[in-house]
């Protein structure tokens, strides 16, 4: 197995956490007869600074020639004054769009070792294992027309979905549910939005081809409650782009820290892998970043792009072991707790690496 | 003080809970030298059934001639096949729009007596007192064009805000913050949406006129986390329409049940008061509905439309007392707990009434 991976480290803590993910992948390569070639490329704020664009042409071109893309994080307050299409985040949205992956998989899992890190009671989070399937290329993120007319003092965004866009992501959700607890919860706001009515109708139609999977519909506002009250009752949660952004972040509280969460975006020319957390410029370079989100993202690269399921599981098990031994980065440390010690980004990376 | 109140009981549990609110208002009238005249009017599913429209012309006309409107709930699965502009919810959106109230106030408060009802740990919810100010007449709810083209298999909604719409609701948020903990958290998705960039710029401008109030901006996805992790750190939370719908519901878990939450919509021709919960058709008529949301909504009528602050406080204190005595409707009951007893909608109403 030979894999060429575009390395889009990006801004803030992006480079530090990506490095730990790379170390783990290289350990896997060294142990098996696999080889990973990493192609470091600029994206986000660092790309604006170096090349004047959040997604330079050579970054896109070279990424398209890779087998997978591993992204750290983008975003830098320095560029807050720019319009959305010039900011670091635009680089992320442009590469998402160009790579074509429309199904963004985001697990929200409870770890026993971190049960006390969640604001939710342990009896609520125990055993939670949700997989969000967030549509990533449609809705308000990409809808046209979009503008802010400063003279007219008016701004406009467009939420748009075609049936085909809904069908293709729904199929992935149902297929994933078939290998899990066989339940899909589709989220919309069909009591108000026409787009949600199309969404609901399309998902309902797709469901007919998966008679072994139960489909339920939830309104996005109710869902925001249910995810906190009864998270164990969900299996696969299927959402449009913005609802998925909000609800998957909200579900981060189940795990206890956004720094723990990986994601994989499938269905396009090149799969895109990114931890869910942001660039956290305030802690960049301080050793406080949690590399686990990025390391678990590396596991998803192995699972979905390299077909190395066993190796992915080894990494996931190593993460659990590291946590159970009491190792904690700052975001998941809770003061002086017997049996726990606070470790830096690289220390956590090394602890996990040693177990792989 | 003489007040003419449009009574829009609506669907499902709407009529039952509204009745308890009316009882409490009548008790206040009997004790002071106030008089409330209630004008019962049709809205939502019951109006579709009786008059063929979710907001019959006479309902709107008569409500506009009242001093305040008290709404129960609208929504009935029977009408799920209708398009958004024909459904019971359309009656609600139309009356919101016609009455013109743009600032929807939704408190998210923790009650000591209900600390064990929240999925959040008691140390997280303790002392939480958030006031959402949700913009209620703009954004995706009302934006044009909006359509679902079944032939083209494409649907479209529009998120639109003018600066003037943002400014007027922001002013209310800052004024309310001045009487509270002097902090406004404005929520947007300014890293992606042009509408959010206008929103952020307009709120920042308004803030200059309230130098005693601290303004912070949060992205909607991060906010969904922070509300669960550190709810005590928020005072007034200012949002556009859809973000407010999602986040205020999410914050319902702080109180423990949506059935507890009141709302008031100010700034228009006639103030509109409604509990946050929905019509809950599954429990309508079973005595399981929690009337507290509606009763606390009645308190808001007294506060914001009748200028009877002391009387509003009496009702709010009566609710707390009823809870502290261990009275629980089904939604807030937690099995066999010593010192607690499960009561029906009307029993809870009477217990609170007796204390007013
Ligand atoms: C950085 C931002 C554009 C992005 C998004 O909204 O998709 C992020 O919040 C995410 O969830 O990946
Ligand atoms: C019933 C529905 C249209 C309404 C809304 O989305 O505004 C409700 O969820 C609310 O929050 O009042």
Q: Which of A124, A245, A256 is nearest to A187 (CA)?
A: A245
Q: How far is B163 from chain A (nearest CA, A)?
A: 5
Residue B62 DSSP class: H
Active-site residue flag, B221: yes
- Is the pLDDT at A235 greater than 90? The verdict is yes
For A87-119, the pLDDT digits (tens) are 999 999 999 999 999 999 999 999 999 999 999
What's residue B83's pLDDT? Answer: 84
Q: Chain B, 106-165: which have a CB under 8 Å from a chain A CB?
A: 119-121, 124, 140-141, 143, 146-148, 152-164
Q: How far is B310 from chain A (nearest CA, A)?
A: 33
- pLDDT confidence band for B32 (50 / 70 / 90): confident
Q: Which atom of ligand 2 is nearest the CA belonging to B248? A: 11
Q: Cα separation of A101 and B181, whole Å? A: 45
Tokens 């299927």, residue?
A238
Q: Cα separation of A39 and A7, whole Å? A: 5
- Is the pLDDT at A220 greater than 90? The verdict is yes
- High-pLDDT (> 90) share of chain B, %: 95
| Residue A301: Cβ within 10 Å count | 28
Contact A316, A296 (CB under 8 A): yes
Contact B266, B133 (CB under 8 A): no
**Which residues of chain B does A158 touch, with a Cβ-Cβ cutoff of 8 Å?**
156-159
CA distances for B303 relative to A137, A213, B26, B308, angstroms: 46, 50, 15, 5
Q: Which of A105, A239, A89 is nearest to A165 (CA)?
A: A239
Active-site residue flag, B188: no
Cα distance between the two ends of chain A: 18
**Which residues of chain B does A143 touch, with a Cβ-Cβ cutoff of 8 Å?**
156
A135 lines ligand 1 (CB under 6 A): no
Contact A328, A341 (CB under 8 A): yes
Q: Cα separation of A82 and B28, whole Å? A: 55
pLDDT (average), residues A59-71: 98
Q: How many CA atoms lie within 13 A of B90 on its CB side?
A: 18
Indicate which residue of B221, B269, B313, B354 is catalytic: B221
Q: Chain B, 256-295: which have a CB under 8 Å from a chain A CB?
A: 258
Strands B341-342 and B327-328: parallel
- Is the pLDDT at B31 greater than 90? The verdict is no
Contact B315, B356 (CB under 8 A): yes
Q: Whose CA is nearest to atom 12 of ligand 2?
A: B276
Size of interface A-B (CB pairs under 8 A): 175
CA distances for B27 relative to A33, B269, B355, angstroms: 81, 27, 10
Average pLDDT, chain A: 96
Q: Chain A, 42-71: which have a CB under 8 Å from a chain B CB?
A: none
Q: Cα separation of B25 and B22, whole Å? A: 5
Q: Which atom of ligand 1 is nearest the CA belonging to A242? A: 6
- pLDDT confidence band for B13 (50 / 70 / 90): very high
Tokens 């012309």, residue?
B57
Q: B87 and chain A: CB distance < 8 Å anywhere?
A: yes
For B315-336, the pLDDT digits (tens) are 999 999 999 999 999 999 988 8
Q: How far is B116 from chain A (nearest CA, A)?
A: 10
Q: Tell if the CB–CB gap between B158 and A163 is shorter than 8 Å.
A: no
Residues 6+ apart with CB under 8 A from B151: none
User: What are A36-39's contacts with CB under 8 Å, separation 24+?
Assistant: A36/A2, A36/A3, A36/A4, A36/A5, A37/A2, A37/A3, A37/A4, A37/A5, A38/A5, A38/A7, A39/A4, A39/A5, A39/A6, A39/A7, A39/A63, A39/A66
B192 lines ligand 1 (CB under 6 A): yes
SS3 A177: helix
Q: How far is B117 from chain A (nearest CA, A)?
A: 10
Contact A120, A257 (CB under 8 A): no
Spacing, Cα A217 to ligand 2 middle (Å): 16
For B225, which residue in chain A has the nearest alpha carbon?
A250
Q: Cα separation of B239 and B247, whole Å? A: 9
User: What are A33-37's contacts with CB under 8 Å, separation 24+?
Assistant: A33/A1, A34/A1, A34/A2, A34/A3, A34/A306, A34/A308, A35/A1, A35/A2, A35/A3, A36/A2, A36/A3, A36/A4, A36/A5, A37/A2, A37/A3, A37/A4, A37/A5
B221 lines ligand 1 (CB under 6 A): yes
- pLDDT confidence band for B148 (50 / 70 / 90): very high
- High-pLDDT (> 70) share of chain B, %: 100
Q: Cα separation of A104 and B82, whole Å? A: 31
Concatenated DSSP letters for B70-91? EEEE---GGGTTS-TTTSHHHH
Q: Tell if the CB–CB gap between A84 and B147 is shorter than 8 Å.
A: no
For A241-278, the pLDDT digits (tens) are 999 999 999 999 999 999 999 999 999 999 999 999 99
Contact A240, A161 (CB under 8 A): yes
**Annotation-wise, does B282 bind a ligand?**
yes
Residues 6+ apart with CB under 8 A from B172: B103, B133, B266, B267
Beta bridge partners of A154: A149, B162
SS3 B350: helix
CA distances for A103 relative to A133, A264, B153, B168, B218, angstroms: 6, 8, 20, 39, 26
Q: How many CA atoms lie within 13 A of A89 on its CB side?
A: 20
For B100-147, the pLDDT digits (tens) are 999 999 999 999 999 999 999 999 999 999 999 999 999 999 999 999
Q: Which atom of ligand 1 is nearest the CA belonging to A136? A: 7
**Annotation-wise, does B344 bind a ligand?**
no
pLDDT (average), residues B186-193: 96
Per DSSP, which regions of chain A are E strands? 2-10, 35-40, 68-73, 103-109, 129-135, 147-149, 154-162, 183-188, 214-219, 236-239, 264-266, 271-273, 327-328, 341-342
Q: Cα separation of B181 and B208, whole Å? A: 17
Beta bridge partners of A66: none
| Order of strands, sheet of B214-219, starting from the edge strand that comes earlier in the sequence | B35-40, B2-10, B68-73, B271-273, B264-266, B103-109, B129-135, B236-239, B183-188, B214-219
Q: Cα separation of B230 and A3, whole Å? A: 42
- pLDDT confidence band for B18 (50 / 70 / 90): very high
- Is the pLDDT at B244 greater than 90? The verdict is yes
Q: Which atom of ligand 2 is nearest the CA belonging to B96? A: 7
Q: Cα separation of B195 and B165, whole Å? A: 12
Beta bridge partners of B271: B68
**Which residues of chain B does A197 touch, with a Cβ-Cβ cutoff of 8 Å?**
83-84, 148, 155
- Neighbour-count burial of B346, counting CB atoms closer than 10 A to its CB (0-12 exposed, 13-18 middle, 19+ buried): middle
- pLDDT confidence band for A33 (50 / 70 / 90): confident
- Whether pTM exceeds 0.85: yes
Residues 6+ apart with CB under 8 A from B235: B129, B130, B131, B177, B180, B181, B182, B183, B184, B185
- pLDDT confidence band for A84 (50 / 70 / 90): confident
**Which residues of chain A does B154 touch, with a Cβ-Cβ cutoff of 8 Å?**
160-163, 198
Token pair belonging to B212: 């005693």
Ligand nearest to the CA of B243: 2
Q: Tell if the CB–CB gap between B155 and A192 is shorter than 8 Å.
A: no
Q: Cα separation of A183 and A286, whole Å? A: 42
pLDDT (average), residues B297-324: 96
Interface test with B, best of A48, A155, A198, A217 (most B CBs within 10 A): A155
What's residue A32's pLDDT? Answer: 85
């Amino acid at each position: 197995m030979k894999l060429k991976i575009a390395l889009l480290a990006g801004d803030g803590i992006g480079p530090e956490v990506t490095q730990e993910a790379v170390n783990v992948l290289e350990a896997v390569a060294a142990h098996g007869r696999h080889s990973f070639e990493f192609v470091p490329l600029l994206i986000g704020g660092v790309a604006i600074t170096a090349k004047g664009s959040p997604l330079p042409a050579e970054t896109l071109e070279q990424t398209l020639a890779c087998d997978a893309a591993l992204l750290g994080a983008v975003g830098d307050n320095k560029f807050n004054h720019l319009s959305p299409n010039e900011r670091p985040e635009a680089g992320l949205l442009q590469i998402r769009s160009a790579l074509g992956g429309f199904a963004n998989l985001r697990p929200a899992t409870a770890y026993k070792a971190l049960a006390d890190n969640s604001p939710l009671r342990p009896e609520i989070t125990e055993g939670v294992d949700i997989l969000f399937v967030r549509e990533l290329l449609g809705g308000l993120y990409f809808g046209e027309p979009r503008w802010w007319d400063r003279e007219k003092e008016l701004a406009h965004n467009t939420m748009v979905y075609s049936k085909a866009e809904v069908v293709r992501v729904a199929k992935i959700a149902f297929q994933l549910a078939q290998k899990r607890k066989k339940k899909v919860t589709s989220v919309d706001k069909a009591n108000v939005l026409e787009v949600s009515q199309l969404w609901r109708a399309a998902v309902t139609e797709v469901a007919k081809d998966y008679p072994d999977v139960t489909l339920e519909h939830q309104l996005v506002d109710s869902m925001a409650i249910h995810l906190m009250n009864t998270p164990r009752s969900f299996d696969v949660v299927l959402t449009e782009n913005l609802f998925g952004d909000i609800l998957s972040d909200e579900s981060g509280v189940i795990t206890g820290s956004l720094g723990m969460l990986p994601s994989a975006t499938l269905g396009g020319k090149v799969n895109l892998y990114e931890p869910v957390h942001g660039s956290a410029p305030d802690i960049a370079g301080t050793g406080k970043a949690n590399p686990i989100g990025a390391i678990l993202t590396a596991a998803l690269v192995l699972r979905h792009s390299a077909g190395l399921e066993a190796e992915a599981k080894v990494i996931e098990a190593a993460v659990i072991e590291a946590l159970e031994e009491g190792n904690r980065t700052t975001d998941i440390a809770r003061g002086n707790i017997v049996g726990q010690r606070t470790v830096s980004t690289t220390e956590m990376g090394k602890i996990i690496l040693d177990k792989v």
